[in-house]
Amino acid sequence: MLNLVANNSMVTEHEAAPDRITSGPRGPKPRRTLSRRNIVVYGTLIVVALYYLLPLYVMIMTSLKGMPEIRVGNIFAPPVEITFEPWVKAWAQACTGLNCDGLSRGFWNSVRITVPSVIISIAIASINGYALANWRFKGADLFFTILIVGAFIPYQVMIYPIVIVLREMGVYGTLTGLIIVHTIFGMPILTLLFRNYFAGLPEELFKAARVDGAGFWTIYLKIMLPMSLPIFVVAMILQVTGIWNDFLFGVVFTRPEYYPMTVQLNNIVNSVQGVKEYNVNMAATLLTGLVPLTIYFISGRLFVRGIAAGAVKG
């Protein structure tokens, strides 16, 4: 069945050899592997793949070269002499303004922002989603609709009122304030994610637990939580990459000593004073991209699921 579909083009005339049927569900490859169609399909995809990989390649190459080599050479050429000095410098010595302790500070700030933000936002959103899916109360759907519509409001519209709220709470400029902000803006998409997931679980399970006398929290902790680990992983991937990559909130809601890595990176690279050290800049850029890239390459398909759900966050 699949074979017919597999040979999409004009190769239907191809004699149907009997061994085709027995050779498994994926179907045998067309005999002429170098058909015009294949050349076009694979050729285009390979060119496109190279285009996508090019910036990563250039980043790595540049970060391993010394400045003299960059000045004379071309950005695509591999380094003649590999040096890790730019990486060391980017991590420990690069300057932002008067501070010269490198990106490491931004990295640890980002860790201190990301870890609690991810945990808190997921905890709150999963409980929200659970309440919405299983313990619906009057008006719950209204709040949920507002939340989802709110996901489309540009952040710029809500930034200043949040500054005021945080200032009143005494946490404006601190890590706590930024964590609250990440929790707020992660809520729409995460709540949607969890609500849909919990609503998809068999209802009998929930009812049986109710009959046995389990309450709101018991059911959540003992039944829902253990059953939905995959969705928690998806939410974590979504949040870690999203929060790590954030720039706007970091710059608005924290003081310079708490700047996350992205903000510090931008300040290092785009600072006007001094000679531009492109190799250090690229090493710093790679360092900042390393965390989300690692998560991406490890998590594979789950990442795709996460962003398909989180794309709305845009």
Partner 1 sequence: MTGQTRGSARPNQWLRNLNAKIASIPMILTAVVIFVGGTAWTVLYSFTNSKLLPRLSFVGLDQYERLWAAPRWLVSIENLAIYGFFSLVFSLVIGFVLAALMDQKIRFENTFRTIMLYPFALSFIVTGLVWQWLLNPQYGIQSIVRSLGWTSFNFDPLYNSDIVIYGILIAALWQGTGLVMCLMLAGLRGIDEDIWKAARVDGIPMWKTYVLVIIPMMRGVFITTLVIIASGIVKVYDLVVAQTSGGPGIASEVPAKYVYDYMFQAQNLGQGFAASTMMLVTVAIIIVPWAYLEFGGGRKRA
As given in the structure block, the two tokens for residue 29 are 């490859």
**Token reading at 122:** 């997921």
| Residue in 22, 229, 273, 297 binding partner 1, rule: CB under 8 A | 297
Instruction: Give the Å distances, CA to CA, from 296 to 45, 120, 206, 246, 300.
Output: 21, 22, 34, 16, 6
Q: Report whether 242 contacts 185 (CB < 8 A).
A: no
Q: Where are the alpha helices (DSSP H) in the chain?
A: 2-6, 19-22, 36-63, 67-72, 85-92, 104-134, 140-150, 155-169, 175-200, 203-211, 216-219, 225-227, 229-245, 248-253, 261-269, 278-299, 301-310
3-state DSSP assignment of residue 96: strand
Nearest to 244 by CA among 287, 283, 278, 282: 287
Q: Which residues are CB-neighbours of 266 under 8 A, at least 6 positions away?
A: 247
Query: Cβ 143 to partner 1, closest distance in Å?
Result: 5
Q: Which is nearer to partner 1, 175 or 299 (CB)?
A: 299
Q: Contacting partner 1 (CB under 8 A), which of 113, 239, 288, 302?
A: 288
Part of the chain binding partner 1 (CB under 8 A), chosen from 15-23, 84-92, 96-104, 280-288: 280-288
Binding mask 21-50 for partner 1 (x = CB under 8 A): ----------------x---xx-xx--xx-
Computed from CA positions of residues 248, 254, 257, 261, in that sequence, does the dihedral angle turn out positive or negative? negative
Q: Which of residues 166-185 bind partner 1 (CB under 8 A)?
A: 183-184
Among 160, 200, 203, 221, binds partner 1 (CB under 8 A): 160
* Member of 107, 239, 285, 309 binding partner 1 (CB under 8 A): 285
Residues 112-151 that bind partner 1 (CB under 8 A): 124, 127-128, 130-132, 135-137, 140, 143-144, 146-147, 149-150
| 245 to 274: interface string for partner 1, x by CB under 8 A | xxxx--xx---------x--xx--xx----
Q: How far apart are CB 264 and partner 1 at their closest, in Å?
A: 10
Q: Judged by CB, which is closer to partner 1: 175, or 268?
A: 268
Closest approach of partner 1 to the CB of residue 208, in Å:
16
As a whole number of angstroms, the distance between CA 131 and CA 235 comes to 17
Which residues between 183 and 242 bind partner 1 (CB under 8 A)? 183-184, 187, 191, 215-217, 241
Of residues 80-119, those binding partner 1 (CB under 8 A): none
Given candidates 18, 68, 154, 202, which one binds partner 1 under the rule CB under 8 A?
A: 154
Chain position carrying tokens 């924290």: 254
